[in-house]
Structure 1
Amino acid sequence: MFLDHAWRRFLTVVDHAPTLIYRCRPTSSPWPDDTAALSLLADAVIDAETLIDEIVHGGSVSSQERNARAWPAIETWLTDGEIFLRQARVSAPHRRPALPVTAPARSLTTGRPALRSH
């Protein structure tokens, strides 16, 4: 039961992690030692993608076999997921800061005479 639930949750990781892992540059981050953990996670995701492909196209993978083959990838995610998340955050494109909500609104009529109809 736990592994079935973990597998379903891990599918989201498998869907999104490859692109994010590709963007991560641990050697230029504050945590250059994260390279090994990201490599392990990338391998785990590749293994999970292979398993998914077999399930989708072959269909003959029992839930017991799926769980046995998926567990190493899930375990890697549970172990190194935080490292991946911090590297993904550091590698994300930076957005321009938003204006503070407390910024005063400028009047549209300041400096312009009001139009009057005759």
Structure 2
Amino acid sequence: MENITINIVNSIGDVFAVEAEDGQKVFELISKALRDHKNVVVSFQNVEMLTTAFLNTAIGQLYKDFNESDIKRHLKASDMSDSGKVALKRVVDTAKLYYKDPEAMQRSIDNILGD
């Protein structure tokens, strides 16, 4: 199986991985590679700032289209800071819950917000 590396800085043209729109570009690159049955390494080399908004869009929404075991087997992150790893784990855990049962997650959010 072919390997592909997606370098965040090269893909979005910025060292600040903060915007959901930039995350969408990365999501589309990862999705295409996974659909083409490639192993994907997402490199965070030289990323100076990383937000959960970016990670939710780039990585989190993969759980809508791909099953967890395929993502685990074919997607790796590299060159990530410790705080980036913590943020990514939080995003992945939330995405798995959300895409497993979106309605229940929305009800929970509504309850918390008092809607």
Q: Higher strand share goes to which structure?
A: 2
TM bin (shorter chain): under 0.3
Larger-gyration structure (1/2): 1
